[in-house]
Structure 1
Amino acid sequence: MDELDELDPAYYSINSTASVPEFLAVSKVYAREVVEHYGLRVTVSDLEWEVSKRAKRRAGAVRYRDGKPEAVSLTWELFENRGWEAAAETIRHELIHVHLLNEANDGSHGERFRRLAGELGTHVNCERFAEPKWWIRCESCETKLARYRRSKLVENTESYRCGGCGGALRVEENCD
């Protein structure tokens, strides 16, 4: 591939009816191409590749120990709801984390991450892709907090205050 050519994720596209093993196989092939195209310090085959069917707030994650990347997890619901393009963007995002962990023991979304995210055409933070079960809403400033699982905040909203303005909170079941 010529250095001026763009790496087109659509070339690797797989539709959301694919099985988990098919999705992971395509994800790894695409990840290898991204690493080669952008010169990232990542060995795709050294990583475990996993799918999370529980995650609701994160599109992906890198699991690491002592600064050494061990696994990349991709969220199935993101793929089902948003398709391959969103999954490919998440793969690029997670590869940046692996690269920076390998280069500088840095797993953050700091300046280096933001610069590489721009180069690789990926997000720094993902947009919501799953509907929360509840919204916690401030009665004063109307701040909304999404909640996907039952928690102390959902169960005892009256015991908490808004972190921004100190206002009272109320819980609303999401009917969307």
Structure 2
Amino acid sequence: MTTAEPTTREALLSRAADYAATVPIDLDVAELAWAISERARRRAGCCRYDPETGEITVVLTWDAYREFGWAEFRGTIRHELVHAWEFQQFGESGHGERFYRKADEIDAPRHCRSFTDGRLELVCTDEHCDWRPERHRASKPVRQPDAGYQCGDCGSEYVVRHRESGRTWRTTAGYERAREALGDDW
């Protein structure tokens, strides 16, 4: 196995598969499929399971690898291996107690940090509340903040803020106006 940082997507997949074989986890690593995501903006990796075929695919995000570097990205690989282990052993996976125990055993992070800042944020309107989750995509709470959604900490209303422009809205119509006004700068 080489010690150089992978510089291509193919090299990253090869290095990840080689590295996975060295992780002390009861998992048939040779049975895993490996893929690269070019779309992900928040998650560094994911593990997909096809219950009909039993195929497990570890998907790694190229931009996350480029942001983190190999040393940190190995944690992402270990994290996804825990999901793969759960799929092989139990046919399901999540971030529950079983996941946490196995992650601790192999020194895998329980959560992988985001590698980009969100384009949008939800901002609680209560001046005493610091709730400000980021969003990368125009999810329902972004597009329809007036559809019964509320602050995840205190339950107050929130506004959506487009971080680059500073434009805010708290209704579906406000979202539509902002999206139109921002155009290609969305």
Q: TM-score range by the shorter chain?
A: 0.7 to 0.9
Which residue is equivalent to 2:80? 94
C-alpha distance 118-39 of structure 1, shift in aligned 2 (>3 A): closer
- Which residue of 1 is the match for residue 61 of structure 2? 75
Are the structure 2 counterparts of residues 15 and 164 from structure 1 closer, same or farther at C-alpha, using a change threshold of 3 Å?
same
Structure 1 position 22 matched with structure 2 position 11: yes
Question: How many Å separate the matches in 2 of 1:99 and 1:156?
Answer: 38
CA contact (8 A) 1:14 1:23 kept: no
Inter-CA distance 136–14: structure 2 relative to 1 (3 Å threshold): farther
Label 1:120 to 1:147 Cα distance change in 2 as closer, same or farther (>3 A).
same
- 8 Å Cα contact 1:81-1:129 kept in structure 2: yes
Equivalent residue of 1:55, what SS? coil
Partner secondary structure for residue 157 of structure 1: coil
Alignment-derived partner of residue 169 in structure 1: 158
Contact 1:50/1:73, CA 8 A, preserved across alignment: yes
TM-score by length of structure 1 reads: 0.79
Residue 121 (structure 1) aligns with: 107
Aligned to 1:64, which of 39, 43, 49?
Answer: 49
117 and 39 in structure 1: CA distance in 2 versus 1, 3 angstrom threshold: closer
| Alignment check: 8 A CA contact 2:37 2:60 kept | yes
Partner in structure 2 of residue 109 of structure 1: 95
1:27 positional shift = 0.9
Q: Provide the rounded CA distance (Å) in 2 between the counterparts of 1:86 and 1:47.
A: 21
Partner of 2:137: 149
Give, in whole Å, the separation in 1 of the partners of 2:65 and 2:137.
Answer: 21
Which residue identity is paired with 2:32?
L
In 1, distance between residues paired with 2:97 and 2:125? 36
Deviation at 1:132, TM superposition (A): 0.5
Question: Offset at 1:41?
Answer: 2.2
Contact 2:131–2:152 (Cα < 8 Å) also in 1: no
Aligned residues: 161
Structure 1 runs (4+) greater than 4 angstroms displaced? 11-14
Cα distance in 2 for residues equivalent to 1:147 and 1:101: 28
Are residues 1:49 and 2:50 paired? no
Deviations 1:108-142 (A, max 9, x none): 22222212211211111112221110111111123
Amino acid at match of 2:9: V
Q: Deviations over 1:68-127 (max 9, x none)?
A: 342110111211111112221111111111122222334122222212211211111112
Give structure 1 stretches of 5+ with no counterpart. 1-10
Query: Are the equivalent residues in 2 in contact too, given 1:96–1:117 (CA < 8 A)?
Result: yes
Alpha carbon RMSD of aligned pairs, Å?
Answer: 2.3
Q: 1:171 to 1:27 in 2, by over 3 A?
A: same
- Report the TM-score, using the length of structure 2 for normalisation: 0.76
